[in-house]
Amino acid sequence: MKVTIFGAGYVGLSFAACLAEAGHEVLCADADPARIEGLQGGRMPLHEPGLEALVASGVAAGALRFTADERAACEHGELLFIVVNTPADAQGRVDLRHVIAVAAAIGRHRDRDALVVCKSTAPVGTAAQVEAVLGGELAQRGARHRIAVAVNPEFLREGSAVRDCRRPDRVVIGSEDPWAIGLLTRLYAPFIQDPQRQLLVMDRRSAELAKYAANAMLATRISFMNEMARVAEQAGADIEAVRRGIGADRRIGPDFLQAGVGYGGSCLAKDVRALTHAAERAGHALRILSAVAATNHEQKGRLFELMSRHFGGTLAGRTIAVWGLAFKADTDDMRDAPSLVLLERLWAAGARVRAYDPAAMPNARGIVGERDDIRWCTTAQEALQGADALAVVTEWEEFRRPDFAQLAGELNAPPTIFDGRNLYDAAQAESAGIAYYGIGRGRSSMLR
């Protein structure tokens, strides 16, 4: 099938490459000509495992092309996906400017029947707005062809976007139009093993809300576990054991129960804010989600609190090694990253930082800028040298199994680890003479 994807971000690009791999003819457009030029020249605008190779093979096979030409993009696809970003401000008001601009362009340029599919995360009612904009443009030029609008939210995660695209838990189709449902069912057929279970067809508004509800639920699980981590610390229990104890219950499930430095990234916090804002405008206060956001805000300061307490309230003159800056492993994305909160607090307290991240350092440097109180290190080991403590902020694979004896030797005595992702076994670190703090690990000696 001929498909146009508007938006070459994480979602748009991963989706485009997977559709091309599945045999569709894909044209991917973006309003940023530099991004398109880069992609045309084989340069990836972001770090996502497996994506570069997939894009390259799609391009080589002639199944995936890029364009900055709006008209060409509108003319190509019988399915036209809107996958542009929808930023939300601090109050949770969502900016739909980019979505509406694409809808208007399609209305101006598309000369044949088509299905427009809203994939960007956008408030309930956005598809209806897109339909109105399209309808307005078509009416203005007296066009008689049909352009339908469906909703198809995306649930892929950064860091495993390609895998999530190829093997989705479910595909939500928001449409009550049999023609649109048929097109989307055909499009997704290569990714679906069990249509009964994986293809969920519903009305557009429910599909729009399902996306927000999914991210709000995930955020809720994380904040819940971060609160339980506090309880575990006070109670002398270990949140990792508690996690296993509850995750084995099929009603709860094992995923998204990891206590840590708080959730970051481009979606969870933004979507919680947007949903809360939309509900408030409709006269309903979302008390649970307000608490979820407040807990997460506090949690981002948790590692610093542990450090501050350990160092007797004074971090001035201390040097802290920071492993991991990205908001999660396998990405270079720094949006809403908990590491940024830690860095700011450390600097405000007069500490210096030696930072290392396998992928996110260029983006982190772009945000933080050049300053004397951070040293950008080229290896994890280099970051340790002469530091008073190690803070682990991102769960990169390469941080998971350090040689504790060597690590203890690199850090100033007495060596200390603040493990914001609970990667390590407290007893193992302590047997190498390292003072160990995790999140919610009340059984480790330091928190008792």
What is the per-residue binding string for ligand UDX in 230-259, x denoting contact by CB under 6 A?
A: --------------------------xxx-
Nearest distance from residue 327's CB to ligand UDX, in Å?
Answer: 4
* Angle, helix 302-310 to helix 338-348, in steps of 10 degrees: 30
Q: Is residue 440 close enough to count as binding ligand UDX by CB under 6 A?
A: no
Residue from 102, 114, 222, 278 in contact with ligand UDX (CB under 6 A) = 222
Which of 18, 28, 74, 267 is catalytic? The answer is: 267
Q: Is residue 168 close enough to count as binding ligand UDX by CB under 6 A?
A: no
Residue from 30, 154, 388, 419 in contact with ligand UDX (CB under 6 A) = 154
Is 2 marked as a binding-site residue? no
Residue from 92, 265, 358, 402 in contact with ligand UDX (CB under 6 A) = 265
Cα 272 from Cα 222, distance rounded (Å)? 13
Q: Which residue has the tokens 């209806």?
A: 128
118 in active site: no
- What's the token pair of residue 401? 């199994």
Strand partners of residue 202: 174
Cα 430 from Cα 415, distance rounded (Å)? 10
Is 257 marked as a binding-site residue? yes
Q: Is residue 269 close enough to count as binding ligand UDX by CB under 6 A?
A: no
Is 35 marked as a binding-site residue? yes
Cα 35 from Cα 43, distance rounded (Å)? 9
Residue from 66, 81, 155, 436 in contact with ligand UDX (CB under 6 A) = 155
How many degrees, rounded to 5, is the angle at CA 144 between CA 138 and CA 149? 60
Cα 47 from Cα 56, distance rounded (Å)? 14
What is the per-residue binding string for ligand UDX in 80-119, x denoting contact by CB under 6 A?
A: ----------------------------------------
Is 260 marked as a binding-site residue? yes
Cα 85 from Cα 87, distance rounded (Å)? 6
- What's the token pair of residue 273? 């804010």
Q: What is the DSSP letter of 441?
A: B
Closest among 301, 329, 315 to 389, alpha carbons compared? 315
What is the per-residue binding string for ligand UDX in 320-339, x denoting contact by CB under 6 A?
A: -------xx-----------
N-to-C CA span, the chain: 61
Q: Is residue 393 close enough to count as binding ligand UDX by CB under 6 A?
A: no
222-232 CB burial, b ≥16 within 10 A, e <16 = bbbbbbbbbeb
Nearest distance from residue 74's CB to ligand UDX, in Å?
Answer: 26
Strand partners of residue 88: 94
Is the distance from CB of 226 to CB of 296 less than 8 angstroms?
A: yes
Subset of 186-215 contacting ligand UDX (CB under 6 A): 215
- What's the token pair of residue 127? 């598809």
Nearer to ligand UDX, 94 or 387 (CB): 94
Where is the binding site for NAD(+), in residues? Answer: 30, 35, 86, 121, 158, 270, 335
Where is the binding site for substrate, in residues? Answer: 155-158, 211, 256-260, 264, 328
| Residue ranges binding ligand UDX (CB under 6 A) | 154-158, 215, 218, 222, 256-258, 260, 263-265, 267-268, 327-328
Where is the binding site, in residues? Answer: 30, 35, 86, 121, 155-158, 211, 256-260, 264, 270, 328, 335
Q: Residues with catalytic annotation?
A: 267
